[in-house]
């Protein structure tokens, strides 16, 4: 049985991944900048787990952290400023790589190292979260028995208000406000272009806004489309319009804005649901729409983190047959990925709207 080191392992998503792996008998090392937090969380996981101090941006630190590890799991976002230190360390140490990145620039960096991973007979599985892992698996499920190719695809991520607000996730959102997004159909702007979508209960009709994500790169080849929209929205409706307003001011928000929002997220009362929904809609030439949704009525962040845990578990236990850089739905297969999520109690819904 292999071992995994989880960078950012005591953070919001890293801690979920670490708990899932430990619960299935994987030896987990918690790596982070704060040794005390890493050791404390590792101890809470039980016997056989440990913590260490590590800097995911430092090549020497990364190489030292990979000693005796089978898989390096990168949950230490935000990913936008990351270089290739951990990727290069994995290649040097002969270690598989998994991340939860939804930043297109970083996923392009992983893809650029794909041939090197393939030559070393290693897997680099990126984007193992809601976007693009679950959204891509839903898209493939919708397309499976279609008689035509879709013209347009829209992905919606709706996040329940009663979820912890991790600093990395806030930084990723803030960094994209008003940012140019390279969509196949042209340049669009982050958190602009309001759409209204209808999601399953308990969410219903929601306003959602542009979000930068790897689907803009991946879905034209995956689905044969030339138009892609990725949208995000929050259960707390005023938050959507607050971020949309900031997006109209330009693309110039950084650490200070992130710190203020992180403080507010930590100290304001939580209400609403801890759930989440991911819906992928395929729009066909005849006017019909296929909607595939994965719904968490609670534990939405666990649903988002599970693809990372499922991929890492597979890499630790099973002989690896696929090498190079790939998504979770390519590595596991879309049916296996969705079945793994459904078995954990999350709901899959498939609906067709006829013209």
Helix axes 167-175 and 255-267, enclosed angle (nearest 10): 130
Given a cut of 70, whether residue 264 has pLDDT beyond it is no
What is the architecture of the domain spanning 3-129+303-333?
3-Layer(aba) Sandwich (3.40)
- Where in the chain is CATH 3.40.50.720? 3-129+303-333
Rounded to an integer, what is the distance from CA 60 to the centroid of its chain? 26
111-126 pLDDT per residue, tens: 999 999 999 999 999 9
pLDDT at 49: 97
pLDDT at 145: 86
Query: pLDDT band at 321, cuts 50/70/90?
Result: confident
pTM of the full structure:
0.95
pLDDT at 253: 67
First to last CA, the chain: 52
Q: What is the mean pLDDT of the segment spanning 16-29?
A: 97
Given a cut of 80, whether residue 347 has pLDDT beyond it is yes
Residue 355 burial (10 A CB sphere; 0-12, 13-18, 19+): exposed
pLDDT at 134: 98
- Where in the chain is CATH 3.30.360.10? 130-301+341-353
Given a cut of 80, whether residue 196 has pLDDT beyond it is yes
pLDDT, the chain, mean: 93
Which of residues 354 and 302 earns the better pLDDT score? 302
Given a cut of 70, whether residue 262 has pLDDT beyond it is no
Query: pLDDT band at 250, cuts 50/70/90?
Result: confident
123-168 pLDDT per residue, tens: 999 999 999 999 999 999 999 988 899 999 999 999 998 887 667 7
pLDDT at 87: 97
Q: What is the mean pLDDT of the segment spanning 207-218?
A: 98
Residue 309 burial (10 A CB sphere; 0-12, 13-18, 19+): buried
CATH class of the 130-301+341-353 domain in this structure: alpha beta
pLDDT at 255: 60
């Amino acid at each position: 049985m292999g071992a995994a080191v989880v960078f950012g392992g005591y953070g919001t998503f890293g801690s979920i991944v670490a708990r899932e792996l430990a619960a299935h008998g994987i030896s987990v090392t918690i790596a982070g900048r704060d040794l005390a937090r890493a050791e404390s969380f590792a101890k809470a996981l039980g016997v056989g787990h440990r913590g260490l101090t590590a800097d995911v941006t430092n090549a020497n630190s990364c190489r030292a952290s990979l000693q005796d590890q089978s898989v390096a799991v990168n949950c230490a976002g935000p990913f936008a400023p990351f270089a290739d230190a951990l990727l290069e360390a994995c290649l040097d140490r002969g270690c598989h790589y998994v991340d939860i990145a939804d930043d297109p620039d970083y996923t392009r960096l992983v893809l650029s190292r794909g041939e090197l991973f393939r030559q070393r007979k290693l897997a680099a599985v990126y984007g193992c979260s809601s976007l693009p892992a679950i959204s891509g698996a839903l898209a493939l499920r919708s397309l499976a028995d279609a008689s035509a190719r879709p013209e347009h695809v829209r992905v919606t991520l709706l996040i329940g208000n009663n979820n912890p607000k991790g600093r990395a996730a806030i930084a990723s959102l803030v960094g994209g406000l008003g940012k140019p997004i390279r969509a196949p159909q042209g340049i669009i702007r982050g958190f602009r272009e309001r759409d209204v979508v209808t999601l399953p209960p308990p969410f219903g009709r929601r306003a959602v806004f542009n979000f930068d994500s790897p689907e803009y790169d991946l879905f034209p080849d995956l689905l044969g489309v030339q138009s892609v929209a990725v949208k995000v929205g929050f259960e707390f409706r005023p938050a959507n319009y607050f971020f949309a307003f900031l997006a109209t001011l330009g693309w110039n928000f950084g650490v200070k804005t992130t710190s203020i929002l992180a403080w507010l997220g930590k100290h304001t009362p939580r209400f609403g649901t801890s759930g989440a929904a991911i819906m992928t809609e395929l729009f066909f030439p005849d006017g019909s729409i296929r909607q595939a949704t994965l719904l968490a009525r609670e534990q939405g962040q666990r649903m988002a983190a599970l693809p990372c845990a499922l991929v890492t578990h597979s890499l630790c236990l099973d002989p690896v047959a696929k090498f190079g850089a790939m998504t979770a739905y390519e590595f596991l297969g879309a049916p296996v990925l969705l079945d793994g999520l459904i078995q954990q109690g999350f709901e899959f819904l498939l609906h067709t709207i006829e013209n």
